[in-house]
Structure formats: structure tokens, C-alpha cells
């Protein structure tokens, strides 16, 4: 009975170690952070440049007949 308990304990420890070494979840979290930063940069750029782009389009539209 003691051998069965020891085997079960070693098996559970090995499984726990194998699961703790997996990095897929960490990688997906890193991709999520990068995606959020890129999204914020694009929104900020569009917000900052919207007045200049609008002015340029209006000036081109005024030149056209």
C-alpha cells in the first residue's frame, strides 16, 4: 500500500511540474499586451492627425471646381 501511495505522489509531482513549465498561456498574454499597445497607438495617432487630415482634404476640395 505504501508503494502505491509513493507512486501516486511521484506521478502527481511530475504532472504538476510538467504543467508549470508550459508557456502557452504566458505567450498569449504577451500577445494581448502587444495588441493593446498597438491599438492605443493607432487610436492616438488617428486622434492627433484627424484635424490635419481634415484640413488637407478641405483645401484640396476647395481647389477643385
Write out pLDDT tens, residues 14-29: 776 766 666 666 677 8
Residue 58 domain boundaries: 23-65
Which pLDDT band, with edges at 50, 70 and 90, does 31 fall under?
Answer: confident
> For residue 60, is it within any domain?
yes
Higher confidence at residue 18 or residue 44? 44
Dihedral sign from CA coordinates of 46, 49, 51, 56: negative
Structural domain count, the chain: 1
> For residue 16, is it within any domain?
no
Provide the percentage of residues in the chain whose pLDDT is more than 70: 78
> For residue 15, is it within any domain?
no
> For residue 12, is it within any domain?
no
> For residue 2, is it within any domain?
no
Which pLDDT band, with edges at 50, 70 and 90, does 6 fall under?
Answer: confident
> For residue 5, is it within any domain?
no
Amino acid at each position: 500500500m505504501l508503494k502505491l501511495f509513493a507512486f501516486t505522489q511521484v506521478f502527481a509531482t511530475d504532472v504538476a511540474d510538467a504543467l508549470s513549465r508550459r508557456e502557452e498561456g504566458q505567450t498569449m498574454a504577451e500577445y494581448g499586451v502587444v495588441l493593446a499597445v498597438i491599438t492605443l497607438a493607432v487610436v492616438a495617432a488617428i486622434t492627433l492627425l484627424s484635424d490635419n487630415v481634415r484640413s488637407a482634404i478641405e483645401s484640396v476640395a476647395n481647389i477643385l471646381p
